[in-house]
Amino acid sequence: MNVLWQRWLLLLLAQAVLGALGAWLAGWPAALAAVLLGSWLWLLADSWQARKLWGWLQSGDVADVPPMRGLWAALGASMRRWLRAKEKSVQAADLRAQGVLHAFHASPNGVILVDDQGQIEWCNRMAESHFGLQAERDLGQMLGYLVRDPALSAYWHGQDFSEPLSMEGIQGARLSVRFYPYGKGKFLLLAQDVTALEQAEAMRREFVANVSHEIRTPLTVLMGFVETLQTLELSEQQRQRYLDLMGQQAQRMHHLVQDLLTLSRLEGSPLPNYDHAVGVRTILQQCEVEARALSKLLCKDEPLHVLQFPTADDAGMDTELLGAQVELVSAFSNLITNALHYTPPGGQVQVRWLMHADGSASLQVRDSGPGIAPEHVLRLSERFYRVDRSRSRETGGTGLGLAIVKHAVQRHGAQLHIESKVGQGSVFSVHFPARRLRTPSSGA
């Protein structure tokens, strides 16, 4: 406001001085002419100042303000401050937008921004991986031309995005895709890799089906025998035979339930700590007693298995394993029991405890059984996986033994390794890291 008053006061002062000078020189007509001439000169100078301000605004260079005076200098300074504030605001908005885009790049999900025509405006690296896109090459291209999937095309043209679309990405990945509208005619495509989720769901369904089948089979047999005992007159010998078979089926269901409970306990409990130790000699002596009893049961009137276990004086037998005794005994016992079940009577099962130079150690169980084809070896530790289903059921196996071994040893930082050749037997090894071992020389 002070600048405006100064502006008008200067104009009035100039008119008064020129009018007085004109009147003094040539009278009142000259005074009027002098006043008009002064007004025009002032207007011309003012227009020149306005032109400089306008030219500066058109140039877009905020820093290069031309020299001005009075009101125009004040307007120029105000405009420069406003433009600088606006520029900082735009820069801050750009930084926020860049931060959002960087966050999208870090997202484990694919993100694509498209317009109402389906043209790609932006995509993150995960979307490039999911759909085989290249951002620098494909921006501005139609998504439907680059991702030629009829299901995605129908999903886009249907414009019903209330439910996600399940489709296949590149390299066989399963994707859950959904469009989310935003802004004016814009859409955000979110693609999530659900391959692992679908595999887990498939495994869950398979697990439930396997458990149901494994329980239904002996249960059906039991029900049949019970009905037979209830409705038919049987001799004492027949009755005893049926009761023995019923006992076998009940024992089979009992083993299955026990193995399922063991797996559930392994998966739901915290990892074993290093506070408890169990001697290797103790575990293997217990396993040897069980193995010899099982061999007699399996072989019956045929030659027994040739069993070889480490002696008390063998190297490493004074070693102690740090962890959960129940889990370690279960793992050792399951490995040896599995070898006995699949080794014919008179065959050989060799159990060894091997110490390594780096302080680690291995339990090795070698059998002279029929061996396993390479395509089955990698899947042996899967739940209910059997190379020969009929033979596995004949031996009374539940299909969970090696799964229990794998879970138990992995909880102790160990790894299960399987080597086998058809006709040459199999070798099952569990390698324990040095941190899970304690020897008399290493102390407590």
Residue 107: closest CA among 188, 53, 27, 49: 188
Q: What is the 3-state secondary structure (H, E, C) of 216-256?
A: HHHHHHHHHHHHHHHHCCCCHHHHHHHHHHHHHHHHHHHHH
Contacts of residue 85, defined as CB under 8 A and 6 or more positions apart, other chains included, come to: none
C-alpha distances in angstroms, 229 versus 139, 222, 246, 253? 77, 11, 11, 20
Contacts of residue 116, defined as CB under 8 A and 6 or more positions apart, other chains included, come to: 185, 186, 187
Tell the CATH topology of 108-193. Answer: Beta-Lactamase (3.30.450)
DSSP letters for 411-430: TTT-EEEEEE-TTS-EEEEE
Q: Judge whether 177 and 161 are in contact, CB under 8 Å.
A: no
Measured between alpha carbons, how far is 239 from 384 in angstroms, rounded to an integer? Answer: 33
Q: In the chain, what are the domain boundaries?
A: 2-98, 108-193, 206-269, 274-444
Measured between alpha carbons, how far is 18 from 30 in angstroms, rounded to an integer? Answer: 9
The correct CATH number of 206-269 out of 2.10.240.10, 3.30.930.10, 1.10.1040.10, 1.10.287.130 is 1.10.287.130
Measured between alpha carbons, how far is 126 from 105 in angstroms, rounded to an integer? Answer: 7
E strands, 103-252, where?
110-114, 120-123, 165-168, 174-182, 186-193
| Fold: same for 108-193 and 274-444 | no
pLDDT tens over the chain, length 444 residues:
455 555 666 666 666 766 676 666 666 676 676 666 667 666 677 677 777 767 666 765 666 667 766 666 666 677 777 777 777 887 877 788 777 777 778 888 999 999 999 999 999 999 998 999 988 899 999 999 899 889 999 999 999 999 999 998 887 789 999 999 998 889 999 999 998 888 878 777 777 777 777 778 778 888 888 888 888 888 888 888 888 888 888 887 887 888 788 888 887 778 888 888 999 999 999 999 999 998 998 888 888 999 999 998 888 899 999 999 999 999 999 999 989 988 999 999 999 999 999 999 999 999 998 888 888 888 888 777 776 655 444 555 667 888 889 999 999 999 999 999 888 899 999 999 999 999 866 554
CATH class of segment(s) 274-444 = alpha beta
- Backbone phi, then psi, for 443, in 5-degree steps? 80, -175
Report the residue count for the chain: 444
C-alpha distances in angstroms, 66 versus 19, 46, 54, 123? 33, 14, 10, 44
